Amino acid sequence: MTGNPLIRLADVTKVYHLESGDFTALDRVSLDIGEKDFVAIMGPSGSGKSTMLNLVGILDVPTSGTVQIAGKDVARMTGPERTRMRRDTIGFIFQKFYLIPLLSAYENVEYPLILKYKKRDTAGRAAAVLRSVGFDGALGSHRPSQLSGGQQQRVAIARALVNDPGILLCDEPTGNLDRKTGLQIMDILCELNEKGKTIIIVTHDPKISEYANRTIELEDGRIAS
Amino acid sequence: MRDIFLDLSARSVHLNLLRSVLASIGIVIGVVAISSMGMLGTNMQLEVKDQLSTGANTIVITPDTVRMGPPGSEPSSSSSSTDITKTVLAKIRIATGDSGTVIPVHRTNTQFTLGSVPGRASLYGLDPDDITKFLTIGNGTNIVGMNDALVGSTIASNFNLKLGSRIRIGSESTGQSVARIVGIIDARGMSSDNINTDNAIVVSDDWYVNQYGGKDEYPQVNVIVKDIDTISGVESAIDAKVNTNEKTPTVRISDASSRLSGISSSLSTMTTFILAIGGISLVVAAVSIFNVMMMSVNERVQEIGILLSIGTEAGEVRRMFLYEALILGLLGAVVGGAVSLVMGYSVVSAMIGTTAYYFLPASMAFIPEGMVVGMIVCLVSGLYPAWRASNLDPIEALRSE
């Protein structure tokens, strides 16, 4: 860990109650992630990687144990407080990009700014962030369906960055991209880490995990190494 | 600044334009139905009120036939036991004094024959001196001779009656008498003095008594007051003088206002009923809007998951879907309002025969009212879909394809 603990999981268990029976996705996991860390979470399918990312991203709450983000216990936060923390402190980058199909590339990046400041971006922040991730400004008015995978992921990264969050959560961010574009995206993430962002990346790809300064192996819901 | 959620809603409607337009057609039909039906009912009320305002200064006195007849029996206008007697008439004259004019009325329904053409009409027997106090003879003169008669405008038109025409009044079995038409009474419509002459023959009281009997017995007595402000005072005086026994009153006393309120109440009930029929189409429209909104939510589950996961508040997601419902409602309401203006005019013109009251505020008000109701229906239909969208689990929503 290269800084103070920004994220703390203490004895976290997550059990899903399925029709086929209870499934323990995470089993008494404890973990500290500091500021400016670049952490890769690896493991086979069903090992609990996405569950851990969802808990850190405050999209879910643990069955037992505590998850703290920036010193705040997620379980004690109200719904609107969690929403605000997701909006202001955490940026999400997904394998499938998950851009809003009805909005243009530019509007997708502007959207989190509108959520936060309740007004349109007149300062050019969205356009500046789009440029910073290497997105061609001429494509700003294009809908996501009119963009290539690499361009869509750049828009998704810009959207995650536009509110200047401290934490970036990346779920297989290169999974839908060709090798070359994937490496370009990883270069962008490394640059962001160097600028102070805490990055947690879930991946199956050992080559991708090499970019991280710390790798956590999960197996059957437990930390194997 | 345009609201981003309004933008998203408008784009969603635009993306599914055909579906949205089809759903809005339900609202169009609903708005047209309640606006047109409401305007029809109101125009009907205004027309009737206007007609009844003729004779607004007239008190109508009729026998309390319920008391006089045996239980369950129909009162008969020709039965002496149910008529206002000479004694009662004298009391009415005393009670009225100089405040008005008392007009005893003989009335029945009769057959008549013009040449070989038979017909039916109301027959009134009036003192010729009273006739011009409340009837206007537009063509011809008042009754002078014993066999003179006046006819209403409708009957004159339908039977092509002219001044000097002779008609045989009465049936062959009860005996017929010939009368000569000397005047045609101007159209009065449905008058509140309960003397509807448009489809009637008016003869002198002497002629009537000779033909039908009933001397000094009247099924109706009207009192035309000089000053309309004194009408309730005159009514009270007559009531006090004639209906000495409160439990068994001799006569019923009414005036235009009480008759108007009775008829208005009936028409109002009818208007409510036809509005309710129009309302049924809005219920169908509501189901259609609900269905479209649920489809929109189900198709956009992943998008809702994205919105929620990147920090959109549940209330903002709710707002987005309510905007969508409102856009559908606005679309339907605006088109429905415009169609109502034309459709309502046609319906009122066809059903009532006049559009004189159509553009009055009381009638026109149904268009904005119908539009507002249509939009409220849309908003209510969108409540559950919007609530459902805002309560989706973002993780589950993101996983959906």
Give the strand pairing for A38-42 and A64-69. Answer: unpaired
Helix (H, G, I), strand (E, B) or coil at B130: helix
Which of B4, B302, B395 is nearest residue A59 as measured by Cβ atoms?
A: B395
Q: CA A19 to CA A131: how far, in whole Å?
A: 47
Q: Per residue in B38-62, pLDDT tens?
A: 899 889 888 877 776 666 788 999 9
For residue B74, pLDDT over 50 is answered with no
Q: Is B10 on the interface with A (CB under 8 A)?
A: no
Q: Would you call A54 and B395 a contact, using CB atoms and an 8 Å cutoff?
A: yes
pLDDT digit string, tens, across residues B248-291: 888 888 887 777 777 778 888 888 888 888 888 889 899 999 99
On whether the CB atoms of residues B63 and B374 are closer than 8 A, the answer is no
Low-confidence ranges of chain A (pLDDT < 50): 2-3
Q: Which pTM value belongs to this model?
A: 0.72
Domains observed in chain A: 35-62+77-223 (3.40.50.300)
B111 contacts B165 by C-beta, under 8 angstroms: no
* Per-residue tokens: B119: 């017909």
CB A47 within 8 A of CB A221: yes
Q: What is the predicted pLDDT for the residue at B79?
A: 41
Asked if the C-beta of B320 comes within 8 angstroms of chain A's C-beta atoms, the answer is: no
**Is any Cβ of chain A less than 8 angstroms from the Cβ of B3?**
no
| 8 Å CB contact of A98 and B309 | yes
- What is the rounded CA–CA span in Å between residue B32 and residue B342? 10
Alpha-helical (H) ranges within B97-230 are 128-134, 153-158, 205-212
Residues in chain B closer than 8 A to A165 (CB atoms): none
Question: How many C-beta atoms surround the C-beta of residue B395 within 10 A?
Answer: 16
A175: which residues sit within 8 A by CB, 6+ positions away? A95, A203, A204
Encode pLDDT of B125-158 as tens digits: 999 999 988 889 988 999 998 899 999 999 998 8
Q: Tell me, yes or no, if B391 comes closer than 8 A to chain A by beta carbon.
A: no
Give the nearest partner residue to A87 out of B303, B305, B311, using CB atoms: B311
Q: Enumerate the residues of chain B whose CB falls inside 8 A of the CB of residue A48.
A: none
Cβ A44 vs Cβ A38: under 8 Å: no
Q: Are strands A5-18 and A64-69 parallel, antiparallel or unpaired?
A: antiparallel
Token representation of residue B121: 């009409």
